[in-house]
Chain A
Amino acid sequence: MPSGVIPIVTADAARQRRRERARGRQTDTSVRDELRQWLGQDLTRRDLLIEHLHVINDRLGCLPAPQLVALAALMKLPQAEVFEVASFYHHFEIIKEGPDGLLPPLPGLCVRVCDGLPCAMAGGEALRVRLAALLGPQVQVLATPCVGRCETAPVAVVHQHAVTHATAEAVVQAVQAGRTAPAATTHIDLDAYRAQGGYALLRDCMSGARDPLQLIELLEAAGVRGLGGAGFPAGRKWRIVRAQPAPRRMADTLDEGEPGTFKDRVLLEADPHRFIEGLWIAAWAVGVAQITVYLRDEYHGCRQVLRAELARLLADPPAPGLPEIVLRRGAGAYICGEESAMIESIEGRRGLPRLRPPFVAERGLFGRPTLVHNLETLYWLRELVEHGAAWFAGQGRHGRQGLRRFSVSGRVCVPGVKLAPAGITLRELVDEHCGGMLPGHRLYAYLPGGASGGILPERLADLPLDFDTLQPHGCFIGSAAVIVLSQHDSAADAARNVMRFFAHESCGQCTPCRAGTAKAVTLMDGPRWDAPLLGELGQVMRDASICGLGQAAPNAFDSVLTYFAHEVGT
C-alpha cells in the first residue's frame, strides 16, 4: 500500500463472517436444547462422550456437524476433542456442510458387508458389489471389517440385523422387509441359570464361605491363561492387581475384533450369566469396586441380551454388596481390543494404546489399578471351581494342558466354536471337530490366530496349537481364531487382506504402525515383493510399534515370504 491512502476494502466472505459472528462454529441453540433432552442432564462427564455420540448417531443415523458443536458446548469440551473422537470410530458417520454451507441430506439405511478374510473367501466382495447395484443410491452399502460371524460367512449387516450365509437376494429381502433389528437369540436367562445352580458360587464367595486366595491358587494350579490373545497367566494377574492400592477397577473386554474370532459372541448369546457370575467372582477375589464391560458395537444382539439380564440382576441381585456393572459400547475400532486402548475408549477418548510402563494393572481405568480380562477367561471360572484344577489341567493333547475354544472358519465342513484340548493340531481340529475339509477343498494353509497370528502351510498342520508352541514358526495362536485355506485360496491374498485390515485399523499413533502398515499394503500389492525392504520394515514394526497391532502386523508378509515365497515371486 505505497500511497498511504486508506483503500476502500470490499467485504469478502471471510470478512463478512467476522462481522456476523465470533470466530469458529457457533452453537445452534435449538440443536443444543434438543440434545439436552436426548442426553439427560449429566453432561459434564468426559467419559460419556462416546455414549452420547451413540445416542445422536442412533437417532439420526449419523453425526451432523451442528450436533457435534452443540455436544461440545454442553460437555464443555473443545470441538476438536469431540471431532477427533467421533472421527476415530468407524460406526460414526460425520456429516458436514458442503461448499454451499448447507448440510447434505442425512444418509439412509446402511448395509455393511463384511470384508474379513473368511467372508472375503466366501465371496463377500462380489456380494458387496452386487448389493450396491441392487439396492441403489438410497441405501449405503459399505465394506466393513470382520463382524465376528465368520462361521456363517459371508455376512451382511442391515443396520443392526445380521444376514448370515448372505446372498444378495436375502439381503435385499431383509432391506425391503425392514428387518433392521438384531435377530432374537435364545439364551439361558436368569431364571434358567439360577435353576441350574447359577450364582450359588458367587453367594458363597460374597458370604465369606470362600477364600479369594484359594481361588487364585486354583487358577494357578489349573494353568489358566488369559484367553483374549496374550495368554497372561490369570492367577498371576489377579495377584498383581490385588496387591495394588484400592480403589481398584475392572474392565472386561468383549471387543473381540480379531478377524476370525467369534467365540465370545457365541458364549454370550447362549449363557450370559455364566460370564456375569465370573465377572463378579473375579471382582470379589481381586477387591474391585466397579466393573466396566466394553462390548464391541457389532454385537447388537449381545448388547440387548446383556442389557436385559443386567437390568434383571439390578432388580434382583444374587447377593448383597455386589459391585456395579457398567456396560459400555464400542463404536467400531479393532484397536479397542487392546487393553489400554479399550481403557482410553471407556474414558471417552480415541482408542490409542498407552505406552508402558505403567501397566494397566498399576494405572489403568481413570488412573486406578485395573484388572482387564477377556470374556472367555471369566466364563470358565464357575466350571473350574465345580470340576477342580486337576480336571482342567488334565485335559490337553501333545503335552499341552487344558481346554481351548477355537473359532474355526474357512474351508471346513462345519465351522464354529470348537471346545477342544489345548495342543490339538490343525489337522486333528479339522478332522475331529469340523467334519473335515469342504468337498473339493484340500488343506493348503491356515491362520492359527486370526489376522495377527501369521499363516502356516499345510506341511505344518501337525503342530500342537497352543500358547508358545508356534513362536518358533513365526506365528501364534492368540485368540485361537483358526481360518482354514484350501488349494483354491492364496496365502498372499490372505496376507494382503489382513494387511489392508491392519492399515485400516491402525490407530495412527506411532510411525512404525501408521506408516508401516500403509507402506506394506503398497509393497504387497504387486506380484513380486521386495523381500529385503519388507524385512527391514517388518523389523522396525516389531521393534518399535507401541502395541501388538503394529508388532504383529508383519507376521502376514513374513509368513508368506517364509512359507509361500512361490506366490510372490521371490
Chain B
Amino acid sequence: MSPVLRPELRFTLDGRSVVADAGETLIEVADRQGVQIPRLCHSPGLEPAGNCRACMVEVEGERLLVAACCRKPAQGMVVHSSSPRALQAQKMVLELLLSDMPAQPLKHDDELRTWARQLGVGSPRFEPRERIATDTSHAAITVDLDACIQCTRCVRACRDEQVNGVIGLALRGESSRIVFDLGDSLGGSSCVACGECVQACPTGALAPATGAARMPAQVQVGSLCPWCGVGCQVRYLVTDGQISQAQGRDGPANHGRLCVKGRFGYDYSRHPQRLTVPLIRRAGAPKDATAMADPELARQAWFREATWDEALTVAAGGLAHLREVHGPHALAGFGSAKGSNEEAYLFQKIVRLGFGSNHVDHCTRLCHASSVAALLEGLGSAAVSNPVRDVLQAEVVIVIGANPTVNHPVAATWIKNAVQRGTKLVVIDPRQSDLTRLAHVHLQFRPASDVMLLNAMMYTIIEEGLVDERFVADRTQGYEALAAQVRHVTPELAEPVCGIAAERIREVARLYATSRASMIFWGMGVSQHVHGTDNARCLIALALLTGQIGRPGTGLHPLRGQNNVQGASDAGLIPMMLPDYQRVTDAAARARFAAAWGVPVERLSAEPGLTVVEVMHAIHRGQVKGLYVMGENPAMSDPDTGQTRQALSELEWLVVQDIFLTETAMLADVVLPASSFFEKTGSFTNTDRTVQLARQVLQPPGQARADLWILLQMAQRLGLDAAGYGAGDAAVAALFDEMRRSMPNLAGITWQKLQDEGSAVYPCRAEGEAPEVVEFSHHFATADGRAHFVPVRSQPADELPDAEYPLVLITGRQLEHWHTGSMSRRSAVLDALEPDPVALMHPRDMAALGVPPGGLVTLRSRRGQVSLFARVDEQASPGAVFVAFCYYEAAINRLTNPALDLVAHIPEFKYCAIRAEPGGVLPGQTGFGASEAVR
C-alpha cells in the first residue's frame, strides 16, 4: 500500500507563507516561526484551555478573533497576530488581568508582567477586585490568590498531569476561585505537595513558601532527584551556596514532574546535625545497643574529632588488623543504594580485593532481592523488562503489592494517566491506596495469600484456553510442570484462602490474559515475604503463560526503591554476584574480573558471601568482627533491630561513612563525614534501566568529603591500587569507564555520552547501538534464550497471628519520608508535613482497643515494642497495622520478623504477629527539629 500523500498545510501568518505540521496549533507554528504571541493559560504539556484570551489573533473572514493556543490552521487561512484589532484585544486582556495584581510581583519572572511589559501595556485603568487573604497554612506552598489569573494551569497540572485532583476552580464569574478540596486551606487539604501547581503557575499565586521565587537564582544545575528509583531529572536553583528551588526537568522518567520529596526535600544536606568533621570513638565510650540518643549529644559524648588522615588510617587500619588476625571472613561491607554506580562498583571492589571475601551486600537484600532472584532464574536478567512509561501503551495494568502514589509518586502519575486514557487498572493488594479509586478492579486479598491467588489465576488461564500457546512453545521451558502444579488450584479453592470470590479471580485472569497488552508492576508487598521469590515467580509465569512480555505495554516491572538500587545491584554489591550478575562461583567470571582488575584470580573468593541479615547473625556467632558501612542504616532498617543493634555493638570494629550520625553510626568506632547527593558527580541507574548523570550542585560542608574520595582513600589503605583512578570528576569518569568495560550490558554507554545526553538506557552492548528499551522481544537473557517457568506451591507467612499476638504488622514507607528517616526527617518541609510517628489502623481495630484518633498506642511483638500515635486509616484492612520504618522514636523494625526467604534471603517485613495496647510512653521529642523554621 502506498502511503497516503497529504498535501502540506500552508497558511499565511503575518504576511508570511508558513507550513504547519500535523496537529499543530497556531501558537505552535508562531513559536516555531519566531512570531511572539502573548499567552498565559497555555503551557506545553498541558491540555489547551483557551481561557486567558491573551493570544487572540485575527483570521480573515471570521467574525471573532480566535485563540491561537487552541485553533489549528486550515489550508489557506490568513492570520494576523499583530493587527490593530488583535493587538488591542491582547493588550486589553493583559490590562484587565494586571488591574487585579498585587503591587509587587510574587515571582521574579511573572509571565503576566513580562508580557505586559513586552506589549507596552501601561498602568491599568480599572479598579482592582477585592483582595483575598493569603493562605500560609502549608509548609511548602504559599497561596496568594491576589495574583491568580484563573488560567487553570495549576488545576490541569494537579488534575490531568499528576492526577491528584486536589485543585479545582470553584464558584463562578468574578468570584471564581482556585480551591483545594472543598475550598479548604491548602494545609488542611488532601494536597500531597507535589508542587506541580507551583511549577505551573505563571504569576506566583502558588509559590514556594520560602519566597524563593521572588528572586532569580545565581546558578542552575541540571541533576537528578536523590530519593526514589523513578529517577526524575531535576534542575536545582542555587543562591549563596544553598539550593533555593528544585524544578522538574524533561527527563525520560519524569518529563518535568516531581513529587514532594524531589521538589521540597533538598535541604537535609544543610541540616545543623550534618557531619562535617571525621569522628573517632572516645576511649571507653560505651556501645549501648539499647540507647536512643540525640545525635548531637551522642556525638559530643561518645566521639572526638579527628583529622582525615588520622580517621582514615585508624578506620582502614582497624579493618586490616582484623583481616590479618582473623582472616577475610571476619570482615563485611554494606554498600549503599543511595551512592552512585561508581561508588558501588568501587565499594564491592574494596570488599572483594581489600577484605578478600564476598561479604558485601546492600539494602536491595531488604527490598527486591527476591524479585531479582526470580527474574534471573526465569528470564536471565535482573532488571525490568519495560519502562514505567510503557504503561501508556498497556490495555490492562496490574499493580500488585505496591503503593506507587506513596513510594514512586511520579511513576504513579503515568499509571494514572494511562487509566485516564482508558487503560484498565487492576490493583491486587490487601490495603486500599490512592490508586484503588481509579481501579477497574481491586482484589483486596488476605495478606500473604499471593501465591494461591496467582496460581488460581493461572489455573483459569489454562482451564479456559487463554494460554498463548505459540509463545509458550517457542519462547519458554517448563510449562508442563507449571500446569501440573496449578492444576488443582481452582479459584474455588483459592476463594476462602484469599478472601476473593472465585468469579472475581477468573474475571481478572481473563482480563489480563486477553488484553492486547498487559503489564505488571509490583513492589515490596510481593517481595518482602518468606515466599517473596515464589510470589515473583508466579508473576513471571503469568506473563509467560499469556505472552504478555517482550512487547511495548507488556512485561514485568518491579518498582525499584532507592535512586540507585538497580545500579548498585548491577555494579556487584551482592554477595553471590560480581558486577553484571556474574556468579562468584563461576570460575570463568572470576577469571574475567581478575584480569580486568589486574589481580591474580586467587584473590577473588569463590565462596558466596553473607547477606545483610546473615552478617548480623555471623557477628553474633563471632565470625564477623569488622564491618564497613557506607550510607546504610541497618540499626533502623533491618528486621528485629534489637538484635541488629546488639550485633553492631558487639563488633570489634565498625566504620561508618555517612552524612549524619545515624543510629548505626552511633555504634561506630570511626565515622567518616561523607557527601550528600548534591555534593558529588556520578551516574545513577533508575528503575527503567536508565543510567543518568547527577552533577554536583553544592560543595560539601566543612571537612565533609566526596564519597568517592573517601572510598579511594580507604581502598589505597586496604591494599588496592587506587591511584590510577585520579581524583575528582576524573576518577568518576575512570571508574565508569572501567565498569562499562567489565559489564557487557553497559559497554555501549560512554561517560562522554552521559555528559552529552544526561541519560542512556541499557542493555546497550556497543557504542552507537540503539538500547533495548523493551527487553526480550526475541529471546530471553538465559543461557538457552528461553524463559523458565518455576512452579510454586502456596506457603503461609512465617509468623501467624494467634491469641497472644492477634494483629498483623505490615511495614513500609510513607510519602514524605525516606527509609530510616535520616535524611527526610531532617528536611524542613517533609518534617513539617509528617512530624510524628504514627501507626495506621482501621477504625474498627482502634475502637476495639479503645484508642482515640491520635492517641498513643503500644505495639508489641515477640521481639520488641514501640509506642506511637494511632492514626485512623480507612484504607487499612481490619486486623492489620501499618507502620513506616522511618521513625527513630518508634523504630518499628524492633518488632519485625527476621525470618528469611530461602532463595533470596529477604526478610518478611510485610508480615508478623503483634498485639496492640492503648497508651504508652513516647519520648518527649520527635524528629530532628528540621521543621522549626517553617512552623
Instruction: Give A contacts to B, CB under 8 Å.
Output: 1-9, 11-12, 14-27, 29, 65, 68-69, 76-84, 87-88, 94, 96, 333, 335, 350, 355, 357, 503-512, 514-519, 522-523, 533, 536-537, 539-540, 542-546, 551
Contacts and interface: CB of A to CB of B under 8 A. Distances in A.
Contacts of A12: 935
A546 B51 contact: yes
Interface stretch (B169-177, B339-347, B538-546): B169-177
Interface in B136-180: 137, 149-150, 159, 164-176, 179-180
Nearest to A66: B182
B93 to A, nearest CB: 5
A533 B182 contact: no
The 8 closest A-B pairs by CB, nearest first: A24-B190, A78-B165, A508-B176, A80-B168, A20-B854, A84-B168, A20-B853, A4-B296
B169 A84 contact: yes
Contacts of B51: 509-511, 546
B180 A80 contact: yes
The listed residue with most B CB atoms (<10 A of its CB), out of A68, A503, A510, A543, is A543
A543 B835 contact: no
A143 to B, nearest CB: 15
B689 interface: no
Interface size, B (range):
35 or more
Contact of A539 (B88, B272, B296): B88
Contact of A503 (B173, B437, B833): B173
B58 to A, nearest CB: 9
B89 A518 contact: no
Interface of B: 50-54, 56, 64-65, 67, 70-71, 85, 88-89, 92-93, 96-97, 99-100, 125-127, 129, 137, 149-150, 159, 164-176, 179-184, 187-192, 272-273, 294, 296-297, 437-438, 833-836, 838, 843, 853-854, 869, 871-875, 924-930, 932-933, 935
Contact of B56 (A335, A350, A523, A543): A543
A351 to B, nearest CB: 9
B126 A23 contact: no
Contacts of B875: 22
A333 B176 CA distance: 14
Contacts of B294: 5-6
A219 B664 CA distance: 86
B874 A96 contact: no
B704 to A, nearest CB: 15
A537 B88 CA distance: 10
Given A537-B92, A543-B89, A27 B874 contact: yes
A533 B125 contact: yes
The listed residue with most B CB atoms (<10 A of its CB), out of A12, A83, A96, is A83
Contact of A8 (B297, B874, B925): B925
A508 B171 contact: yes
Given A1-B932, A20-B853, 9 more contacts: A5-B297, A9-B932, A17-B188, A22-B873, A24-B191, A84-B170, A506-B172, A518-B174, A545-B53
25 contacts: A5-B297, A6-B928, A7-B932, A9-B932, A14-B188, A25-B190, A29-B843, A69-B182, A76-B438, A78-B164, A79-B182, A80-B170, A81-B159, A87-B183, A333-B172, A335-B172, A357-B71, A509-B150, A512-B93, A515-B97, A517-B174, A518-B174, A522-B126, A546-B51, A546-B53
A544 B93 contact: yes
Contact of B835 (A18, A25, A335, A350): A18
**Interface residue SS majority, chain A:** helix
Given A1-B932, A503-B174, A355 B125 contact: no
A314 B387 CA distance: 53
A16 B871 CA distance: 10
B53 A511 contact: yes
A508 B150 contact: yes
B267 to A, nearest CB: 12
Contacts of B833: 18
A163 to B, nearest CB: 28
Nearest to B91: A540
Given A505-B173, A508-B172, A519-B127, A80 B96 contact: no
Contact of A511 (B52, B165, B834, B930): B52
Contacts of B137: 14
A368 B191 CA distance: 35
B437 A7 contact: no
A53 to B, nearest CB: 13
Contacts of A540: 88-89, 92-93, 96
Contacts of A546: 50-51, 53
A18 B869 CA distance: 10
Nearest to B436: A76
B50 to A, nearest CB: 5
Given A1-B933, A25-B190, A511-B93, A551 B835 contact: no
A536 B96 CA distance: 11
The listed residue with most A CB atoms (<10 A of its CB), out of B70, B126, B296, B926, is B126
Contacts of B176: 507-509, 514
A517 B172 CA distance: 12
Contacts of A80: 159, 165-168, 170, 179-182
Nearest to A506: B173
A65 B179 CA distance: 14
Contacts of B191: 23-24
A508 B92 contact: no
Nearest to A541: B92
Contacts of A508: 150, 169, 171-176
A357 B59 CA distance: 14
B302 to A, nearest CB: 15
Contact of A544 (B89, B188, B929): B89
B95 to A, nearest CB: 9
A288 to B, nearest CB: 26
Contacts of B438: 76
B927 A6 contact: yes
Contacts of A11: 836
A539 B89 CA distance: 8
A514 B126 contact: no
Contacts of B100: 515
A331 to B, nearest CB: 12
A27 to B, nearest CB: 7
Contacts of A18: 833-836, 838, 871
B170 A83 contact: yes
A1 B295 CA distance: 14
A147 B110 CA distance: 43
A94 B170 CA distance: 12
A1 B159 contact: no
A358 to B, nearest CB: 11
Contacts of B71: 357
A522 B933 CA distance: 44
B84 to A, nearest CB: 11
